[in-house]
């Protein structure tokens, strides 16, 4: 057995476990959103929830918050705008900049979608103490910060 095989395990890899959890949640959220005919996907939800928390973000800031490239963000924003879920407005301070806002329809969809997401997370967190959840969140935040602040390896 090689040294690599003895030191790396998918079951102990933070990256693998976080990715697997994310995929399971997203799969279930996509299924629930479709079942309830909300007309959005988990990818749309990830953008809308940011506007739910911080209405009036620029497309660039939203791309950063959702870890999406600017082309993908522009495509998603155009889709959500065409469905009447968001409004894109020119910034009062810079006419070239576009600010994104949830529309009234978008807020209604988010009320229902957030209820579905909350139920999924409640299922996922069943049997896990508040202290364990707080520790898990803290560790994931710090790991993300480490990767955002550390230079990439050559």
Whether 3 has a pLDDT exceeding 60, the answer reads no
* pLDDT digit string, tens, across residues 145-154: 998 886 766 5
C-alpha distances (whole Å) from 46 to each of 5, 43, 140 are 36, 5, 18
Inter-residue long-range contacts of 41-49, CB under 8 Å, 24+ positions, other chains counted: 43/76, 44/76, 44/79, 44/80, 44/85, 45/113, 45/117, 47/73, 47/76, 47/77, 47/80, 48/80, 48/85, 48/86, 48/102, 48/106, 48/109, 48/110, 48/113, 49/110, 49/114, 49/117
Give me the pLDDT at residue 90, please.
Answer: 87
Structure tokens at 34: 């479709």
* pLDDT digit string, tens, across residues 37-69: 999 999 999 999 999 999 999 988 999 888 899
Q: Which residue has the tokens 């749309």?
A: 44
Structure tokens at 9: 């395990």
CATH 2.40.50.140 fits 40-148, yes or no: no
* pLDDT digit string, tens, across residues 114-123: 999 999 999 9
Give me the pLDDT at residue 25, please.
Answer: 96
CA quadruple 18, 19, 24, 26: dihedral, nearest 10 = 110
Structure tokens at 80: 């959500």
DSSP annotation of 101 reads E
* pLDDT digit string, tens, across residues 76-102: 999 999 999 999 998 888 878 889 999
- Please state the separation of Cα 117 from the chain's center in Å: 11
CA quadruple 104, 107, 113, 119: dihedral, nearest 10 = -140
Give me the pLDDT at residue 84, please.
Answer: 97
pTM of the model: 0.81
Whether 11 has a pLDDT exceeding 80, the answer reads yes
Give me the pLDDT at residue 12, please.
Answer: 82
Residue range 12-23: mean pLDDT, rounded = 91
């Amino acid at each position: 057995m090689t040294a690599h095989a003895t030191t790396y395990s998918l079951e102990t890899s933070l990256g693998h476990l976080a990715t697997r959890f994310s995929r399971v949640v997203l799969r279930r959220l996509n299924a629930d959103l479709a079942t309830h005919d909300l007309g959005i996907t988990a990818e749309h939800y990830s953008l809308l929830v940011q506007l739910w928390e911080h209405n009036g973000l620029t497309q660039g800031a939203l791309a950063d918050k959702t870890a999406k490239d600017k082309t993908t963000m522009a495509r998603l924003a155009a889709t959500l705008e065409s469905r009447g879920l968001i409004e894109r407005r020119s910034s009062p301070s810079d006419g070239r900049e576009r600010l994104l806002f949830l529309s009234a329809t978008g807020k209604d969809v988010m009320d229902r979608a957030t209820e579905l997401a909350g139920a999924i997370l409640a299922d996922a967190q069943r049997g896990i103490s508040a202290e364990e959840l707080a520790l898990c969140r803290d560790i994931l935040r710090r790991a993300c910060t480490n990767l955002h602040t550390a230079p990439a390896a050559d």
